[in-house]
Structure 1
Amino acid sequence: MSSLVIDGVDLFYHRVQALDGLSLEVAEGEIVALLGNNGAGKTSTLSMISGLVRPKAGTVRWGDRDLAKLHPWDIVGAGLLHIPEGRRIFSTMTVHENLLIGGYLVKDQRLIRQRADEAYELMPRLAERRAQQGGTLSGGEQQMLALGRALVGGPKLLLLDEPSMGLAPLIVKQVMEIIQRVNEQGTTVLLVEQNARAALRIADRAYVIDGGRVTMSGPAAELAEDSRVIEAYLGA
């Protein structure tokens, strides 16, 4: 059984401190939301888990693995897949080609095709557009494609950075429902999201961070009723 445990992490960009003693945990099978204003350290947290930046102090563990000592590609190989803000799909490749490239570390071609078919089943809109170039898709469709590409890699932990950004409310609802279904199929999720209402609706637990440290945490349903969270992130 693998959990993500971040303990007492300090992270700097040159002399600017992005994370200050950050501690949080994501248990296997959970959806955990990470909330906070711009500059709070949310994206830095995901980048650190993915090995894109290294902490100066503290530990980042996935089960018995010390992620701070692994290369980013080894972290992907361990099943931790990161969908960054902005989706970053390959715009001149077709939907199907984008999906298949998500399995670049998977040696079994049959398994890659099976996972692509499962992504199409989960998101029929992608199946309808499998021959289209990724750059011709709408924002919501591109977010679905980014999710599908990650699923072909067989994630154990999915790191999502602002999946609802720039999407219409109806599409946000669809994307969040897809994330829920992915979780129900066995993938643990750490969700960074400015749309706190949407995130708390699907999360099991949530952390609020400010200045690179946790300021609040608890069951998502409880935080959604907390007056401080309502005032800061949910409106009246």
Structure 2
Amino acid sequence: MAMLEFDNVEVYYGKVQALRGLSLHVDEGEIVALLGNNGAGKTTTLSTASALVKASSGHLTFNGSDISRANPWDVVSAGLIHVPEGRRIFSTLSVLENLQLGGYLVKDRSLVAARIEHVFELLPLLFERRTQQGGTLSGGEQQMLAIGRGLIAGPKMLMLDEPSMGLAPLIVNQVMDVIKEIRAQGTTVLLVEQNARAALRVTDRAYVIESGVTTVEGQAADLLNDPRIIDAYLGA
């Protein structure tokens, strides 16, 4: 059974239709990528799963429960965590304080502390920077902090929106390595990326979204050699 499933989902912003009968699924233990150009509907897909945007029709399920009309905090409590585009860390708070805020719905403070320790093991640079203000970090460090903050909530699935945006190629590789390790430690990942090559190297499957619908679906290894994907997203 799929962990997350979109079934013929439609979303409007006013009179503008952003998703046009979108259907896709992410199975437990997978890393799945959503590829597509700006305005294709990728971010809307994550926002709809997070209940930040409501579907006008269709159904969304997470772990077998219908979340089509859920509240955002209910989605977080269920274990579906969204790390938004642009990092959105709290620039005047320390690294440690940013991480602590990731556990705002977790009542057990000792559990939050244990998860922070785990994030420091996964991302040791954050431990070194733990007393620094978030705004003083480099772009790559801020992205690691945003991912780390998402992990404090205890996700069953982590949704990452453009984690490589604006980062140097070496840092992009480091971010992708972290994503692979997160999956290895038991968290399913849904990844929105414009860097198709980097995404397809770490994912199991991918969907291409165009104008709010999926137009291509396949195994990542196959899509890396698909002429349609090469022409549109990978170059020669």
TM-score by length of 2: 0.99
Taking the aligned partners of 1:170 and 1:123, their CA distance within structure 2 comes to 16
Deviation at 1:64? 2.3
Question: Any idea what SS the aligned residue of 1:3 has?
Answer: strand
Taking the aligned partners of 1:3 and 1:96, their CA distance within structure 2 comes to 31
Partner of 1:3: 3
Deviation at 1:134? 0.3
Deviation at 1:69? 1.6
Taking the aligned partners of 1:149 and 1:11, their CA distance within structure 2 comes to 28
Partner of 1:25: 25
Is 1:92 the counterpart of 2:92 in the alignment? yes
Taking the aligned partners of 1:129 and 1:16, their CA distance within structure 2 comes to 43
Is 1:103 the counterpart of 2:106 in the alignment? no
Taking the aligned partners of 1:191 and 1:170, their CA distance within structure 2 comes to 19
TM-score by length of 1: 0.99
Count of matched residue pairs: 236
Contact 2:2 2:25 survives alignment (8 Å): no
Where does 1:53-202 land on structure 2 (aligned, <5 Å)?
53-202=53-202
Partner of 1:225: 225
Deviation at 1:132? 0.1
Deviation at 1:67? 1.1
Q: Which runs of 5+ in 2 are unaligned?
A: none
Deviation at 1:2? 5.9
| Amino acid paired to 1:94 | S
Q: 1:54-84 deviations in whole A, cap 9, x for unaligned?
A: 1111100012211112100100010011011
Taking the aligned partners of 1:229 and 1:7, their CA distance within structure 2 comes to 24
Taking the aligned partners of 2:97 and 2:59, their CA distance within structure 1 comes to 37
Q: How well do the aligned residues superpose, as a CA RMSD in angstroms?
A: 0.8
Taking the aligned partners of 2:179 and 2:218, their CA distance within structure 1 comes to 20
Structure 1 consecutive aligned stretches of length 4 or more whose deviation exceeds 4 Å: none
> Identity rate of aligned residues, in percent?
64
